[in-house]
Amino acid sequence: MDILFVADPLASFKIYKDSTFVMMREAQRRGHAIWACETQDLSWRSGGVVQAPMQHIVLQEGAEPWFRVQNSAVRALHSLGAVVMRKDPPFDSEFFYATHLLERAEVEGARVFNKPAALRDHPEKLALMEFAQYASPTLVTRSAQDVRDFHAEHQDIILKPLDGMGGMGIFRVRADGLNLGGIIETLNRDGAQSLMVQKYIPAIAQGDKRVLVIGGQAVPFALARIPQGGEVRGNLAAGGKGVAQPLSARDQAIAADLGPQLAARGLLLVGLDVIGDCLTEVNVTSPTCFREIMDQTGFDVAAMFIDALEQALS
């Protein structure tokens, strides 16, 4: 089967930790042909179909570069066995437009994972609203006064932009309210931009857990991303230390509830972020942490993903 990965530039991959790389490696091991393109390559023309110039690559781990281009071609997306959307956030206008092109490709017969409409319907931070029973107190607003009132109520809070990734733009404000006004101005831009505010969860000291859910089923290990050096952020991109650990009973309960619901909407792969007992985000665009869990536990997350992909296509 030919599998197209719509991803960031291949040259930017850090294969020692890249989840898309291990997906590709497992697919190739099973005899599937790996094709790659970027979202900017997608196009449609009246009277035609959604297509892209793409590269057929062969992975060669241990060599430099890590892939070899077998050949290149302009192909209709519906001509491939599967299309795996792995473009990293942010979910900006171009990402949004790409989901519409991919949705048109679906109409033409392409099989796209995660489903483009589901990507649009589940923005990573706002998707939490549907599952508020698992979340800590949370506010989404443009109002600076609402933020101040939320801080007065909860004393210790986290503020973050709705379009951030990798811990970017996350601030903690304690009971003294130090710099709250400046942080609001930075994130809120005088009421022009919405932000999310959450009650601080002390359990972040034990890590911000990434719980992977594949085909509605939880991977049995989470990656706890533990803040380092006085940081409040556990994100690996912000210097957090990743420690794989078995799912807690609470992790399992959250995944068991959300997993089947999200899978039924066309979300083959979801990354749930859990701090302590609280769900903080629902990641659907390009969830990561495969490699860290695989390396530390021996559990083959990539094989579980390709199993689920093959099953979804059967």
- The reply to whether 114 belongs to the active site is no
- The reply to whether 29 belongs to the active site is no
The encoded tokens of residue 80 equal 């491939």
- The reply to whether 292 belongs to the active site is no
- The reply to whether 160 belongs to the active site is yes
Distance in angstroms (rounded) separating the CA atoms of residues 209 and 40: 32
Q: Confirm if 244 and 297 have CB atoms less than 8 A apart.
A: yes
- Kindly give, in sequence order, each residue whose CB lies less than 8 Å from that of residue 114, ignoring residues fewer than 6 positions away: 85, 266, 267, 268, 269, 284, 285
Q: Which of 18, 75, 283, 292 is catalytic?
A: 283
Q: Which of 163, 233, 235, 251 is catalytic?
A: 233
Q: Which of 124, 208, 251, 273 is catalytic?
A: 273
The encoded tokens of residue 113 equal 């994972």
Q: Which of 87, 225, 235, 251 is catalytic?
A: 225
- The reply to whether 92 belongs to the active site is no
- The reply to whether 86 belongs to the active site is no
Neighbour-count burial for 4-29, b at 16+ CB within 10 Å, e otherwise: bbbbbebeebebebbbbbbbbbbbbe
Q: Which of 125, 199, 209, 291 is catalytic?
A: 125
Question: Which residues does the annotation mark as catalytic?
Answer: 125, 160, 210, 225, 233, 273, 281, 283
